[in-house]
Amino acid sequence: MKLSQYARKEGITYRGAWLRWQKGRIPGAYLDDTGHVVVPDPMHERLNDAVVYARVSSAKQKSDLDRQAERMARFANARGLSVVRVVKEVGSGVNDHRVKLTRVLNDDDWGTLVVEHKDRLTRVGFEWFRVLLARQGKRIVVANEADDDRSDLMANFTSIIYSFAARLYGLRGAKERTKRTVHAFTGENKR
């Protein structure tokens, strides 16, 4: 950003900002080819610092969790992001009481959240995450955006029905009840 923008942001005069720059009190500020003082924007710099978030639904998928985290770390590095942390969590995508995700969202040491699929972050309300993080100067990068909205919606619908059936009837009967419910809505064969 220009020195004048920096001054406005800091609530000081341009002269005050100039004096700070001359004394070396603006970290990273430099004189460009045209003779203007350029101050790096910390928000923009922070976007290069990424947190990889990997999630699976059950402890049985623990090995999948490790592979997912490794894939996303490689993906982030290939995009030029610096991975500052890898967070792995076991829990339902519908559950809004995930301790590790909450901790990540409360931290300020990152600018980009990297997930493999939207549903690894949340089954419902993904766009709310995008909007709220953007308000904080952060962003979400999804490695595999779903091309087929219908299949994405059906996967979300199925996982929500499964989650509620598991809560109501216990885990044993949830899978069969979910299949019957999806069959009733879509007319697909239950297999």
**Which residue in 57, 92, 159, 163 is the catalytic one?**
57
Vertex 139 angle, CA 137 and 141, to 5°: 165
Give how far Cα 142 sits from Cα of 27, 32, 115, 171, Å.
32, 35, 5, 30
**Can you tell me the distance from the alpha carbon of 26 to that of 151, in angstroms, rounded to the nearest whole number?**
51
Alpha-carbon distance of 131 to 154, in angstroms, equals: 23
Partners of 73 in the beta sheet?
none
What sign does the CA torsion over 133, 113, 88, 126 have? Answer: positive
Has 82 been annotated as catalytic? no
Q: Which residues participate in catalysis according to the annotation?
A: 57
